[in-house]
Chain A
Amino acid sequence: MEETLAVRKLDRLGVVLVAGGIAATALLPFIYVKANRIAAGKPMLLTQLLPQPSVLILLVLLIATALATLFLRNAFIRLALGTLCLAGLIAAIGLTATAATPPSSTVARMTPGGSFWVLFGVIGLIISDALVKIRLTPWMRVAALVAYAALLGICLSSGLLDSLSILREFSTRSAQFWTEAYSHLLLAFGSLAIAIVLGLPLGILCFWVPKLRAIVLQTLSLIQTIPSLALFGILMLPLGYLATHVPLAADIGIRGIGTAPALIALVLYSLLPIVANTVVGLEGVDPSVRDAAAGMGLTRRQILTGIDLPLAFPVILTGIRIVLVQAIGMVTIAALIGGGGFGIFIFQGLGQTAMDLVLLGAVPTVFFAFSSAVILDAVIDSIRGSAA
């Protein structure tokens, strides 16, 4: 009796996901076949590609995953089917792209269409839902991230996806891609490091001096409200002036455009979450713990480093997580003022109405932001788990 009930009771999230997947498969193109980068593509539905074996296999896997999502409670089976289905999806897009590319053509572009992205998202959600239900420990979540990244890496390095437009764009700019990846991460992590070095002491000071707190936090909130593009513009003037009038400033690389204003703007945006979370974290420390520490003869510095900061650390780390994810996204805009990073591809692509080039910048940015969020969440959870 219970079992029949369990079967009849549909998974609500599953219904939404499966409905979305079916609608996308039926209505949106799976792939656009374009004669060249900017030509209007010929949309192909998944059903129009049917004779191909990879598409047949994908459809079977999609149906199996849909049924499992609707009727099966076992998260492990769902996870396995979802992962298989994801691999099938990636293989199918790669193989159909190769099949549609005219032999020896270098200008033809095969771009994944709407139904590919929707299916990718739906399967991703099914997998992450299953992972949540399995209740992985924090470090198992990182391991899962590494496993799926490795799966993606294998697909990329095997040449399976080489016919896809995004990889065509990559192959013509692979050297530049890695340079921009390096400067993107350097800007994101560099601004984070500077923001921690400045923000942590500022947060501690704000906690000790309540009068300072209101001024500092309001100033930093005000900075957050300035649109990033405007802030880059505001910084260009004083930095440009500095570069032309102070020889030393120009020597160490300070200019009105480029890395310097990008870095300064990113640090300014990063300060509020770090300072605010430091203050909140320190306020969350039980005053009786601090009183006992002082009463036993710990010095002010010993209380700070031995009691206050370790106890506030999970909250401070939450601020650092916000800042890192925010910075990885925001660095793309720095490309507009010559700061480098994946934004270069995005703005080039927008300028040339070449969406494939936009994707070459956007996809790795999303990947890095997502990975840092998962890793830092795992660190925060494991600290909370051991101390709570």
Chain B
Amino acid sequence: MSMIEIRNVTKRYGTATVVDNVSMNVEKGEITVIVGTSGSGKSTLMRMINRLVPITEGQIFVGGQNVIDVEVTELRRKIGYAIQGHGLFPHRTVAQNIATVPQLLDWDSARIAKRVEELLGLFNLDPATFADKYPHQLSGGQQQRVGVARALAAEPELLLMDEPFGALDPVIRGKAQDDLLAIQKQFGTTIILVTHDMDEAFHLGNQIAVMSQGRLLQCSTPEKILTEPADPFVQQLTGTSDRALKLMSLLPLKESMAPAKSGLAYALPQSLSLRDALAEMIWQGVDEAAVENGEKAAVGSISMSRLLELGRKA
């Protein structure tokens, strides 16, 4: 059973249809990224899941339960929610902000304190330094991390994120995305993330849903979005100039390497994507390289010609 089932959902404001008959499923533990231009209805679709926007037609099921049947505050307290510009409460400290939902759920204070400390540590914010600071005393990147920590405070199975990295500069954004991936792996949280940034979608998503003018154009794996775009708009959104490299960035080196060979002077870590391996080999000027695991032991090899072949249109 899917974690989330969206069945023929429509949202109308008066005569304007903002979300038009959308159906999609989200599996447990996956990251689904909804992409689209502004006004495509992507945020509205997400906000209908925790009923911040009332559903006009159709049903949404979370964990098999129709969201309409759950008391609205109870529903929202079970679902993490992080937004652009963090939305932190300016008159409460970092610790108080993170404790918001656990307090609503009447956790005892020792459990709340422990959870706050754990989350601050997880997001590389020293509890002794940051717990008692106010949001305005933090940098943009720190505020964003506190925002995500707050969304995860009550250990939700589902996390909704509305352009959570939109206000960050590119360097910090890349770091924040990697942190999110690491934390998602650790907790196994199901994430639905809304963005207009296609690169972010490819970087984070197990599944990408492309929306335009209220309609869901395609919802599939990043590879399929690249290789089998269902609509000219999807193709336009992904761009055609560097799709070979985009595709290669989705493929891990570990799964494409040839058996190990001896006598190779240069070695690459197996955690790289094909794109990074290619870039590294161009830079180093080698035609063939060994692939090694975390313990620096050779587990395979990769040649330039094999890489070029893998990047070719299937």
Enumerate chain A interface residues (CB-CB to B < 8 A): 286, 288-289, 291-299, 302, 307, 310-311, 387-388
Q: Are A296 and B91 in contact (CB under 8 A)?
A: no
Q: Beyond A291-B83, A295-B76, list 11 extra A-B contacts (CB 8 Å).
A: A288-B83, A288-B85, A289-B87, A295-B52, A296-B104, A296-B150, A298-B73, A298-B100, A298-B104, A311-B91, A387-B91
Specify which of B76, B134, B136 is in contact with A296 (CB 8 Å cutoff): B76
Question: Is B281's beta carbon under 8 Å from chain A?
Answer: no
CB neighbours of B100 from chain A (8 A): 293, 296, 298
User: Closest residue of chain B to A295, judged by CB?
Assistant: B81
Docked CA distance A372–B87 (Å): 36
- How near does chain B come to A47, taking the closest CB pair, in angstroms? 59
| Set A292, A302, A311, A387: member contacting B87, Cβ < 8 A | A292
B residues 126-143 in Cβ contact with A at 8 Å: 134, 136
Pairwise interchain contact A291-B90, C-beta atoms closer than 8 A? no
Instruction: Report how many residues on chain B are interfacial, defined by Cβ distance under 8 Å.
Output: 27
Knowing A295-B50, A295-B52, A296-B101 touch, does A289 contact B88 (C-beta < 8 A)? Answer: yes
B77 at the interface (CB under 8 A from A): yes
A201 to B84, CA, bound (A): 31
Q: How far is the CB of B100 from chain A (nearest CB, A)?
A: 6
Cα-based distance from A262 to B309 in the complex (angstroms)? 92
Query: What is the chain B residue whose CB lies nearest that of A290?
Result: B87
Chain A residue, CB-CB nearest to B76 = A297
18 contacts between A and B (CB under 8 A): A286-B87, A288-B85, A289-B88, A289-B89, A291-B83, A292-B86, A293-B100, A295-B76, A295-B83, A296-B81, A296-B101, A296-B151, A297-B74, A297-B76, A298-B100, A299-B73, A302-B104, A387-B90
How far is A297 from B51 in the complex, measured between Cα atoms in Å?
Answer: 10
Q: Which residues of A contact B160 (CB under 8 A)?
A: 295
| A293-B104 CB under 8 A given contacts A288-B84, A298-B73, A388-B136 | no
Q: Does B245 contact A (CB under 8 A)?
A: no
Q: How distant is A301 from chain B, measured CB to nearest CB, in Å? A: 11
In the complex, which residues of chain B have a beta carbon less than 8 angstroms from the beta carbon of A292?
A: 81, 83, 86-89, 147
The smallest C-beta distance from A305 to any residue of chain B, in angstroms, reads 12
| Cα-based distance from A369 to B308 in the complex (angstroms) | 83
